[in-house]
């Protein structure tokens, strides 16, 4: 087998770590270049694995290198990260093969010393890794957890404010796990059972999601395998927690819905599908490029009655007052609940800047409340696990707005969280094996 995937993995990681690229988008783009399913799997596993373990990998490189870490070429650094990750975590590749392929990649650089440098570091890791890993055990608990699970210390300290010590390690482990490859069925074009049968005919195995009504988990396949049914608009890629955030509203046909922070469109367009192209959905987002993405999805899914517009959800719109039956309020957040889908979030997010986010979240929720008709309902959701962005925002909102109330959720959500009776759900990866989410359903009871 060729090792073309290694070259692509280096390019992707360089773009993610140095050019603000998004790993999930880049991996899907590069997979189109690989015909071999095994190489596609290796590309996906390698990129995700390196990003999940970057702090550990960099600590090892720093310990093994005589060259100062900051002086190592960024491309060579990605070669080393990939090499150490594969030696440590992938049992199906011979370490000698990993060293050989890594050295061959380094040889593409004009400086001959670099290939010898890569060879030396990787061979040293094979010899010394056991000893180095034992030395990590002598560090204090925070530093130990930070290196072993590759999470910034400030993230671990924030976890300690809300979770007990027994849960914290399980949270870190779960956030480094592989999420299910989940899709939402476009029920305006096909039923879930029909699509499962269609995929089965193509030797693509799938099974129904346990809670979300129109989701499937696609097994042992990737985006390239389902590109035809995707192009036909028969499904969309969406996590189960995200689907649940729409389903809790129990949307009725012919309703008028506002999705305030719509991009990439998953929730608002799911609402359209649930109404079977009746009613009307207004999708809003602050960025034109994101609204353009929503428009592309509308066309692909063959949906009707969806209106898109560039708007800032924090700016109040007088013309929207009491106009909508439902509002979808999926606010900007730390994204702490979806780290396993986008592991670079660990290193790019400042988890100490929640105060700024909280102001924006509450403002958007307050605006949405004014846009609802009396007896209208809205869902407030985040892909965060932190109370400050979740239940504390709801409590603050309800304290200031006595004309709203939480609405108890359907009993089927009891398997997620007993707070369903109170009108909200805390979804945790280490408990539910779903993306970390917070979902609250709120009703306007009077003007």
**What's 310's domain CATH number?**
3.40.50.150
Same domain, 167 and 186: no
The verdict on residue 163 lying in a domain is: yes
Same domain, 394 and 249: yes
Mean pLDDT score, 209-236: 95
Report d(CA 439, CA 427) in Å as an integer: 8
Mean pLDDT score, 220-227: 90
Contact 405, 442 (CB under 8 A): yes
Comparing CA positions, the residue from 342, 193, 326, 329 lying closest to residue 261 is 329
* Bridge partners for 444 per DSSP: 404
Comparing CA positions, the residue from 444, 422, 438, 390 lying closest to residue 244 is 438
Mean pLDDT score, 30-46: 92
Domain of residue 171 covers 150-176
Same domain, 116 and 36: yes
Same domain, 28 and 105: yes
The verdict on residue 134 lying in a domain is: yes
Mean pLDDT score, 75-91: 97
User: If you ran DSSP here, which 8-state letter would residue 39 be given?
Assistant: H
Report d(CA 316, CA 284) in Å as an integer: 13
Same domain, 386 and 430: yes
Same domain, 19 and 83: yes
Q: What is the DSSP string of 187-207?
A: TTT--HHHHHHHHHHTT-EEE
Pairing assessment for the beta strands 372-382 and 280-285 based on DSSP bridges: unpaired
CATH number at residue 196: 3.30.70.1170
Report d(CA 438, CA 390) in Å as an integer: 6
* Two structure tokens written together for 338: 């979806």
Same domain, 319 and 220: no
Q: What global pTM score does this model have?
A: 0.95
Report d(CA 360, CA 354) in Å as an integer: 10
Comparing CA positions, the residue from 429, 432, 437 lying closest to residue 177 is 429
Q: Would you call 347 helix, strand, or coil by DSSP?
A: helix
- Examine the pLDDT at 1 and tell me if it is beyond 70: no
Same domain, 340 and 407: yes
Domains contained in the chain, number: 4
Same domain, 134 and 212: no
- Examine the pLDDT at 355 and tell me if it is beyond 90: no
Contact 263, 290 (CB under 8 A): yes
pLDDT single digits (tens) 363-386 = 999 999 999 999 999 999 999 999
The verdict on residue 376 lying in a domain is: yes
Contact 305, 281 (CB under 8 A): yes
Q: Which of 221, 237, 253 is the last residue of a domain?
A: 237
Q: What are phi and psi of 215, to 5 degrees?
A: -110, 155
| Average pLDDT of the chain to the nearest whole number | 96
* Two structure tokens written together for 212: 């979300």
Same domain, 219 and 297: no
CATH number at residue 100: 1.10.940.10
The verdict on residue 91 lying in a domain is: yes
Higher per-residue pLDDT: 57 or 221: 57
pLDDT of residue 353: 80
The verdict on residue 145 lying in a domain is: no
Report d(CA 79, CA 99) in Å as an integer: 10
Report d(CA 363, CA 375) in Å as an integer: 21
Burial pattern 12-35, b for ≥16 Cβ within 10 A else e, equals bbebbbeeebebbebbbebbeebe
CA atoms within 13 A on the CB side of 59: 20
Mean pLDDT score, 406-426: 97
pLDDT of residue 152: 96
pLDDT of residue 2: 67
The verdict on residue 209 lying in a domain is: yes
Same domain, 218 and 260: no
pLDDT of residue 36: 86
Burial pattern 374-411, b for ≥16 Cβ within 10 A else e, equals eebbbbbbbbbbbebbbbebbeebeeeeeebebbebee
User: Cα–Cα distances in Å, from 354 out to 128, 359, 381, 383, 392?
Assistant: 40, 9, 16, 14, 12
The verdict on residue 144 lying in a domain is: no
Q: Which of 219, 237, 255 is the last residue of a domain?
A: 237
- Helices first, then strands: H and E counts in the chain: 19, 12
Mean pLDDT score, 214-228: 93
pLDDT of residue 110: 77
pLDDT single digits (tens) 274-294 = 999 999 999 999 999 999 999
Comparing CA positions, the residue from 111, 109, 60 lying closest to residue 83 is 60
Percent of the chain with pLDDT over 90: 93
pLDDT single digits (tens) 230-284 = 999 999 999 999 999 999 999 999 999 999 999 999 999 999 999 999 999 999 9
The verdict on residue 158 lying in a domain is: yes
Report d(CA 45, CA 27) in Å as an integer: 10
Same domain, 131 and 161: no
């Amino acid at each position: 087998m060729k090792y073309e995937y290694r070259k692509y993995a280096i390019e992707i990681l360089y773009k993610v770590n140095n050019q603000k690229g998004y790993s999930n988008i880049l991996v899907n783009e590069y997979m189109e270049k690989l015909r071999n399913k095994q190489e596609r799997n290796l590309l996906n596993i390698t990129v995700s694995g390196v990003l999940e373990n970057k702090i550990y990998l960099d600590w090892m490189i720093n310990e093994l290198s005589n060259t100062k870490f900051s002086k190592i070429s960024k491309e060579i650094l990605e070669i080393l990260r990939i090499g150490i990750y594969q030696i440590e975590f992938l049992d199906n590749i011979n370490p000698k093969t990993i060293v050989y392929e890594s050295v061959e990649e380094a040889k593409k650089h004009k400086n001959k010393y670099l290939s010898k440098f890569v060879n030396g570091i990787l061979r040293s890791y094979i010899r010394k890794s056991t000893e180095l890993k034992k030395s990590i055990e002598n560090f204090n608990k925070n530093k130990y957890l930070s290196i072993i699970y590759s999470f910034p210390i400030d993230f671990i300290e924030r976890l300690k404010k809300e979770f007990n010590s027994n849960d914290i390690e399980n949270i870190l482990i779960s956030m480094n796990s592989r999420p299910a490859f989940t899709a939402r069925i476009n029920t305006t074009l096909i039923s879930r059972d029909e699509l499962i049968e269609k995929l089965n005919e193509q030797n693509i195995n799938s099974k129904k999601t346990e809670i979300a009504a129109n989701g499937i988990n696609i097994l042992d396949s990737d985006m390239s395998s389902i590109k035809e049914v995707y192009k036909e608009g028969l499904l969309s890629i969406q996590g189960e927690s995200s689907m649940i955030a729409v389903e809790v509203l129990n949307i009725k046909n012919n309703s008028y819905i506002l999705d305030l922070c719509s991009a990439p469109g998953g929730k608002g367009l799911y609402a359209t599908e649930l109404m079977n192209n009746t009613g009307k959905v207004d999708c809003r987002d602050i960025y034109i490029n994101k609204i353009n993405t929503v428009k592309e999805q509308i066309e692909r899914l063959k949906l009707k009655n969806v209106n898109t517009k560039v708007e800032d959800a924090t700016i109040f719109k007088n013309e929207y007052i009491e106009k909508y039956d439902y509002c979808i309020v999926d606010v900007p957040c730390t994204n702490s609940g979806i780290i396993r889908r986008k592991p670079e979030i660990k290193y790019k997010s400042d988890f100490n800047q929640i105060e700024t986010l909280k102001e924006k979240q509450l403002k958007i929720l307050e605006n949405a409340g004014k846009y609802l008709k009396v007896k209208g309902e809205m869902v407030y959701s985040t892909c965060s696990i932190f109370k400050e962005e979740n239940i504390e925002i709801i409590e603050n909102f309800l304290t200031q707005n006595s004309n709203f109330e939480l609405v108890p959720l359907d009993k089927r959500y009891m398997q997620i969280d007993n707070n369903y009776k109170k009108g909200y759900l805390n979804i945790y990866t280490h408990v539910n094996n779903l993306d970390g989410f917070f979902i609250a359903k709120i009703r306007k009871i009077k003007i």
